[in-house]
Structure 1
Amino acid sequence: MALTGSNSATDLADAGAFVRWALPVAETVHNFAMTTTMGAILFAMAVVPRYADSARGKLRLNTAHKFSKQQVADREEYPAFTAVLNLAASAAVTWTIFAMAVLVLAYADISGRPVSLSNSYTSELLSYITTIESGMQEATTVVVAAVVATLVFGVRSLMGLFLTLAISLIGIIDMALGGHSSGGADHMGAVNSLGLHLLGVVIWCGGLITLVFLSRLISSDDAGEATIAGSRRACGDAAGRRVPMAVAVLRRYSALALGGFILVTLSGILNAAVRMNNLGELFSTAYGGLILSKFALTMLLGAIGALHRLTLIPAMEKGSVSKTRGLWTAILVELVLMGGTSGLAASLSRTAPPVPETLDEGASPARILTWYDLPPEPHVAEWFTQWRFDWFWVAFCLFAAYIYIWAYIRVRRAGGTWNLARLLSWLWGLFLLNYVTSGGLAIYGRVLFSAHMVEHMSLTMIVPVFLVLGAPITLLLRALEPRQDGTRGPREWILRLVHSGWSKVITNPIFAAVNFAGSIVVVYFTPVLNFILKYHVGHEFMIVHFLITGYIFSLVLIGIDPIPRRPMYPIRLILLIATLGYHAFVGIAMMNMESLLAASWFGNMGRPWGLPAIDDQKLGGSLMWGIGELPTMIIAVAVAVQWSINDKKVQKREDRQADRDGDAELNAYNEMFEKLAERDEQSRR
């Protein structure tokens, strides 16, 4: 900051040197505490065993192993698991304290007033928290940190830690929404790329800090062993090799760090591109210089990580490098470089980017409402040539495609079979999802109700069908190897979630149908629609909700992936017909409405082209009715085909059984009727 002058005093509203330097220091400690909290919870969930007997080879576990409540209570926790939760608790408390410090210092910095204990200052601070968006976001972070700190002290179950981690991720969302890059020319691109950047930092840096903290415990002689993939790497091969715990933990962290590195690098490039006008500003501005320095250190970190993964970890597995030396070789260099990178990131947060973050004077109504200029009038070509990438969903689609292709290749190499049509269905579904979230539908869905309705119907009725037919869970369960050392890897987490009580509720056919149909009323006939349109987090929530709702409904009807309970085929058809009728009813109701939904949004867009807002809304209602027909018919045909195939399988199974036992079931059935006939004959006599 001293080199770039980003923290120098200002002529207007300067809160003093203490606030100028205390705020970035508090932000740095806050960020490290948040990162450490999440990294430690992630380690407890998936990297180190929970119990000592499984970690030290005294008990080999598999997915079918069950313990009574008393047996669970009597089991001794693995020291590394206890230590990592103690680290999470300490870090969460630190996160809470410094989140409050950031809140107070940020208000002082914005208002230009030194921190004070006077009543007037306290009253103004309270007003900042309750009325100003940045104050509300910082206060939300305080609440999230306090909740996580409370939970991490008492939660011990892995599912409880999973939920705690999910709550802590709200802190990342909050930082992305209130971050330095949330303004500018591409608001949503800036927010999503920053969110992905922070997620990568949490995985990479948080994991490294946790690894430092655990190094002594996992490198000791009594740390025990863990299971890693065997040399054959066959699907479902539970044999695996037993290796020192330090090697297993380092290998698992290395995989997480690789994912974190990819996220940090790509999202950092995207975020920098959003905040800069051209490449020349990389060399002509202080902001660009910081970007280049940070990028260079990140690349160096990635290269060192690759070297560790390719040479150091195999050497530790062979025993040519001691556990302690290997761990600290991996830790020290990365820790120093990561500290420097984090320092540059803190300086970047206090340096103004070349692209201004405020709206220009005379901004159009569309830009004021949506953060973007009004797109051109949509003709046929515009629906396919207009793109505004939603980087969160781009990242999701690329990751989902990579994982599926990896699992497909792994199954085929192990001698298994998998229908190529399912692979193509999955990839096509991801392509459609990327188009719906980043293409013409996403752009015009912000300014036209009719386009928004097509976007909604695509997310809930078209995209999920192709994704469900891909059967990703079944493929992953065949490709992933089970762990035998008490840790819960990807395969174990998939099985745990599939068989959880939560899964039993949301995949219940009645709940799935009501959720699928009822979401329409909740979204379009309540203030939820205004929230979805006005706020970025609301827009992303809409996509997630509609996609998951449609996926679960399609999974219940035509999926082959495991769920706790699948309804009989007649029930599936009844549910399908009922939801089809409901969509038609709501669509006709919208076509006949004379009041405008979200009038403050669609009515103030200032479009010089297209239908009037109320007529466009009626068009949206007709599209809801029409679009719902074709996917429903396709699903109905799929249900009928599956019903027929299932009947044939049942018939063949019964025929084979009859051949084995001489048609004993049919003979018993006939004998029952003969006895009934004899009884009737005797009663007549």
Structure 2
Amino acid sequence: MPATGAPGKQPSGSVTTDSPAGAWSVATVVVTAGVTAFCLAMGLSALVPARTEIPGLPSAGQLTAVGLPAVKALFDLAAAATVGWLLAAAFLVPPQRSGVLDVGGYRAVRAASTAAAVWAAAALALIPLTLSDTMGRSLDVAMTPEWILRGLSVLGSLRAYLIVAVVAALIAVLARIVLAPGWAAVLLAGAAAAMLALADTGHSSQSGDHDVAVDSMIYHLIGVTVWVGGLIAFLGLARQRVKHLDVVARRYSAIALVAFVVVAVSGVANAWIRIAYLSDLWTTPYGRLVLAKFVLLVGLGAVGWWHRRRTLPAVSSGERGPLIRWATGEVLVMAATIGVAATLGRTATPPPSGAAPSDIALTLGYDLDGPPTFWSLLTQWRFDWVLGTAALVGAALYLVAVRRLRQRGDSWPVGRTVAWLLGCAALLVATSSGLGRYSAAQFSIHMIEHMGLGMVAPILLVLGGPVSLALRALPAAGRGQPPGLREGIVSALHSRFSRFITHPLVVFVLFIGSFYAVYFSPLFGTLMEAHLGHLLMKVHFLITGYLYYWVIIGVDPTPRRVPPYAKLALLIGALPFHAFFGLALMNGRNALAADHYNRLGLPWVTDLVGDQRLGGAIAWGATEIPLLIVLIALVAQWARSDQREADRTDRQADRDSDAELNAYNRMLAELAVRDHDRPDRRVEP
């Protein structure tokens, strides 16, 4: 990843320019959009009460009632603008050949800095407003330090807003010194991570099936911010007359199409969970807001289709007027949608139907039908909307890439395809079968899932060689053309971050150390308390396992060459740490995450420590099969390496008529003659 540089030296490059005022007149559109979202949320919240006031109970007051959704709308729009401008700098605007941001990208990160400052301020303002609304206290009381500290200690939503405020403030500062797309991508990842903290708050954390609600909210938040923010950034780039605007248009068009589908599907799924009866859509305030949001979404989809058919092709011929006019109107409609969504997030959902949920359903979001058996683990699936979707999408994209290679006459090893598909299947089974269903409720099942995510799936995925496939399937940028996705992958492989993260000692510490850091600290109990924490733990084990086995047996190119003996040392060196980890669990006397498991109160788990010891035995004995697979892969790699070296030697001998061998034979002959001529070297009988 190229280094950052001082912002005082503005990059040269790609704006063919309007005047500076004209280039940044999109700021007027953004401010208008912010005012629209703010006012619409305030007006709707005055018409649609969040809940029925009960006499005798404290009330937050009208200022909180209308101020909370209004500030939330501004918060959402600022988040979208931050993400959109960072997306533009990292992926939409082609950098210079040197890898440094051009003028368009530089202006994008500066705009992201301004948007992030507004985002941070809105997040801080939401802390007392949310506290006032939740506790039923007036805003002046909720703004006192004593109440804020008390609220932060008990309310996850307040902690989430504090996390967002800190991350947004860091982005606002760091975006001022970023001059490389790679670092813009790092800031973009930080912004996306901050959005995840909000997925487990509000309606998502309180509804039934809240595991599905949280997963769908993750998709919804990221999809909305990328779609809306990307359009704001694209409009700004069009006003700047950046070079390669047609390339930017094609890239944003593809991203916007995916984002629209994600937003539509996740929005329907999220609303479906909270709507008990179909009639709730038109008989309750919540349902009517859902319908209003749906109508606006359909309208935005129609406008997006118009863009793809009419305005985007005109960009290639240099005609920007229709694009700017339609994009300006689309941004304003998006702002109205954000205003409706902000009010929707505070409006009470329709009353649920059916019997009261069990303690298990309240904690996990779903019920468990008795103790786990081989048959129930095999058949009682509950699809993981994050990792299960990743497994299916990963398999589909891999097959598309293989098909593209074969269509142009290139071959791809069948074994790699089989390994990748088996890895995707292992990921799907570990997260979406009965293993995934019971893993959040029982430690021994959780350890089976952990071994599958941390060892089995990563080994198979690494053997699939996805990076090599991508580099062969993706088109290379022609001479004089802006770099594309293939060039971005190559740049990432050669970045300093990749060299650091794939250092043998680093991957060893990440892979082994995470076992002890997660399970033998309070972190495990904290992560198990919420679905989002459990999800983050699964993603962590999958990524660290992939990095570890990529360095040891990866068929993909790595940023640094690791000799075979070092790979073997990495593999053998992990064995005692694995064994000690399993033995420590088997000999433990205190149950890990006891509060979580006691709250579930599974009738078939009467001894938490006993189930934990079973999990330790699984961890201790589950390393043999992955170790055998890795050893076979290493031996096969070394055999192929020796064969390639022998073939290289043979080809060299054919080219120079065994010149190296003949020179060696002449040297031996000369040594023999020299020894024969020197009596002191002779051995007397």
Relative to the length of structure 1, the TM-score reads 0.85
- 2:412 maps to what in 1? 418
**Shift of the alpha carbon at 1:308?**
2.4
**Shift of the alpha carbon at 1:451?**
0.7
Q: State how far apart, in whole Å, the 2-side matches of 1:521 and 1:679 are.
A: 65
**Shift of the alpha carbon at 1:438?**
2.2
**Shift of the alpha carbon at 1:14?**
2.6
Q: Structure 1 residues 279 and 683, CA, compared in 2 at 3 Å: closer, same or farther? A: farther
- 1:248 maps to what in 2? 247
- 3-state SS, counterpart of residue 84 of structure 1: helix
1:185 aligns with 2:228: no
Q: Structure 1 residues 83 and 658, CA, compared in 2 at 3 Å: closer, same or farther? A: same
Q: State how far apart, in whole Å, the 2-side matches of 1:593 and 1:7 are.
A: 48
Aligned with 1:345 (options 341, 345, 349): 341
2:306 is matched by which residue type in structure 1? L
2:163 is matched by which residue type in structure 1? T
1:297 aligns with 2:342: no
Q: State how far apart, in whole Å, the 1-side matches of 2:142 and 2:624 are.
A: 63
- 2:397 maps to what in 1? 403
- 3-state SS, counterpart of residue 562 of structure 2: coil
- 3-state SS, counterpart of residue 373 of structure 2: coil
Aligned with 2:511 (options 491, 513, 516): 516
1:60-103 per-position Cα deviation (integer Å, ceiling 9, x unaligned) = x4xxxx68xxxx7xxxx744333322321221121122222222
- 3-state SS, counterpart of residue 175 of structure 1: coil
1:27 aligns with 2:72: yes
Aligned 1:491-570 pairs, distance under 5 A: 491-570=486-565
Q: State how far apart, in whole Å, the 2-side matches of 1:375 and 1:674 are.
A: 83
- 2:228 maps to what in 1? 205
1:127 aligns with 2:147: no
- 2:41 maps to what in 1? none
1:504 is matched by which residue type in structure 2? R
Moved more, 452-461 or 104-113: 104-113
CA contact (8 A) 1:382 1:440 kept: yes
**Shift of the alpha carbon at 1:558?**
2.4
CA contact (8 A) 1:250 1:327 kept: no
Q: Structure 1 residues 340 and 426, CA, compared in 2 at 3 Å: closer, same or farther? A: same
**Shift of the alpha carbon at 1:17?**
2.3
- 1:96 maps to what in 2? 120
- 2:192 maps to what in 1? 169
1:134 is matched by which residue type in structure 2? S
1:656 aligns with 2:651: yes
Q: State how far apart, in whole Å, the 2-side matches of 1:617 and 1:126 are.
A: 36
Q: State how far apart, in whole Å, the 2-side matches of 1:90 and 1:610 are.
A: 53
2:485 is matched by which residue type in structure 1? P
Q: Structure 1 residues 338 and 595, CA, compared in 2 at 3 Å: closer, same or farther? A: closer
- 1:326 maps to what in 2? 322
1:665 is matched by which residue type in structure 2? E
- 1:389 maps to what in 2? 383
**Shift of the alpha carbon at 1:669?**
3.3
1:10 aligns with 2:4: no
Aligned-pair identity in percent equals: 38
Aligned 1:229-628 pairs, distance under 5 A: 245=245, 247-317=246-316, 319=317, 323-354=319-350, 364=359, 366-367=360-361, 369-483=363-477, 489-602=484-597, 605-609=600-604, 612-628=607-623
2:615 is matched by which residue type in structure 1? G
CA contact (8 A) 1:177 1:191 kept: yes
Q: State how far apart, in whole Å, the 1-side matches of 2:226 and 2:487 are.
A: 20
1:232-251 per-position Cα deviation (integer Å, ceiling 9, x unaligned) = xxxxxxxxxxxxx2x22222
Q: State how far apart, in whole Å, the 2-side matches of 1:653 and 1:427 are.
A: 33
Q: State how far apart, in whole Å, the 2-side matches of 1:679 and 1:310 are.
A: 86
Moved more, 197-206 or 498-507: 498-507
Q: State how far apart, in whole Å, the 1-side matches of 2:285 and 2:90 are.
A: 41
2:88 is matched by which residue type in structure 1? F
Q: Structure 1 residues 162 and 315, CA, compared in 2 at 3 Å: closer, same or farther? A: closer
Q: Structure 1 residues 658 and 148, CA, compared in 2 at 3 Å: closer, same or farther? A: same
Q: Structure 2, unaligned stretches of length 5 or more?
A: 1-43
CA contact (8 A) 1:558 1:638 kept: yes
**Shift of the alpha carbon at 1:434?**
2.0
Q: State how far apart, in whole Å, the 1-side matches of 2:93 and 2:503 are.
A: 34
1:155 aligns with 2:178: yes
1:337 is matched by which residue type in structure 2? V
Q: Structure 1, unaligned stretches of length 5 or more?
A: 52-60, 227-244
- 3-state SS, counterpart of residue 347 of structure 2: coil
Q: State how far apart, in whole Å, the 2-side matches of 1:6 and 1:564 are.
A: 57
CA contact (8 A) 1:184 1:356 kept: no
**Shift of the alpha carbon at 1:610?**
5.0
CA contact (8 A) 2:527 2:533 kept: yes
**Shift of the alpha carbon at 1:660?**
1.3
1:294 is matched by which residue type in structure 2? K
- 2:628 maps to what in 1? 633
- 2:84 maps to what in 1? 39
**Shift of the alpha carbon at 1:378?**
1.5
Q: Structure 1 residues 159 and 444, CA, compared in 2 at 3 Å: closer, same or farther? A: same
Q: State how far apart, in whole Å, the 2-side matches of 1:134 and 1:511 are.
A: 34
Q: Structure 1 residues 399 and 539, CA, compared in 2 at 3 Å: closer, same or farther? A: same
Q: Structure 1 residues 486 and 537, CA, compared in 2 at 3 Å: closer, same or farther? A: farther
1:82 aligns with 2:106: yes
Moved more, 179-188 or 504-513: 504-513
**CA-atom RMSD, angstroms?**
2.9
CA contact (8 A) 1:39 1:206 kept: yes
**Shift of the alpha carbon at 1:31?**
0.8
CA contact (8 A) 1:591 1:622 kept: yes
Q: State how far apart, in whole Å, the 1-side matches of 2:406 and 2:518 are.
A: 43
**Shift of the alpha carbon at 1:429?**
1.8
CA contact (8 A) 1:45 1:487 kept: no
2:219 is matched by which residue type in structure 1? L
Q: Structure 1 residues 315 and 209, CA, compared in 2 at 3 Å: closer, same or farther? A: closer
2:122 is matched by which residue type in structure 1? F
- 1:684 maps to what in 2? 680
Q: State how far apart, in whole Å, the 1-side matches of 2:607 and 2:673 are.
A: 79
**Shift of the alpha carbon at 1:432?**
2.1
- 3-state SS, counterpart of residue 563 of structure 1: coil
- 3-state SS, counterpart of residue 48 of structure 2: coil
Relative to the length of structure 2, the TM-score reads 0.85
Q: Structure 1 residues 618 and 315, CA, compared in 2 at 3 Å: closer, same or farther? A: same
CA contact (8 A) 1:179 1:191 kept: no
**Shift of the alpha carbon at 1:301?**
2.1
2:70 is matched by which residue type in structure 1? V
